[in-house]
Amino acid sequence: MSRVVRKLLPLLLFSISACSSSGPEADLQYIKQARSVGAEWALVNEQAAHNRLTPTYVASMHQWLRQQLQTASSALTSPDTAYAQEIRALLAQPDDAAPEELRAHVDKLKDIEDRLESA
């Protein structure tokens, strides 16, 4: 191994380790995604309750929303956290969950998000 490679190797390893962060800071993007999806789900259900959306649209949105939540949930680096539990609680809701119930989970995710952003 050349001297240049040996000198650059520690710097390279440090750079790689810095990019592979985990924990709440790394999960913030997924928390935001789940919060946004949960809020959209509540809005869809609210509009559906007022017959402002077609059943086909509502069914396709529910499928898409669940996929987005599942993606966010499976991407978390810390699955045993309060925010992971909130995302799983959203996923456990029935498609026609009350908007207030969905918003309660969204509010908890927003509180977590705000705390992480201010840290």
pLDDT at position 10: 52
pLDDT of res. 22 = 79
Mean pLDDT (whole number) for 97-117: 97
Q: Are the CB atoms for 76 and 30 separated by under 8 Å?
A: yes
Report the Cα–Cα distance between both ends of the chain, in Å, rounded: 42
30 in any annotated domain? yes
Which residue range(s) make up the domain with 37?
19-118
Query: Is the confidence at residue 104, as pLDDT, over 60?
Result: yes
Quote the pLDDT of residue 81.
96
Tell whether 104 is covered by a domain.
Answer: yes
Q: Residue 38: which residues within 8 A CB-CB, separation 6 or more?
A: 69, 90, 102, 103, 105, 106, 109
Asked, for residue 66, whether it belongs to a domain, the answer is yes
Please report whether residue 3 resides in a domain.
no
Q: How many domains does the chain have?
A: 1
Task: Kindly report, residue by residue over 12-66, the tens digit of the pLDDT.
Answer: 444 444 445 778 999 999 999 999 999 999 999 999 999 999 999 999 999 999 9
Determine, yes or no, domain membership for 77.
Answer: yes
Instruction: Give the tens place of pLDDT for each residue, 89-103.
Output: 999 999 999 999 999
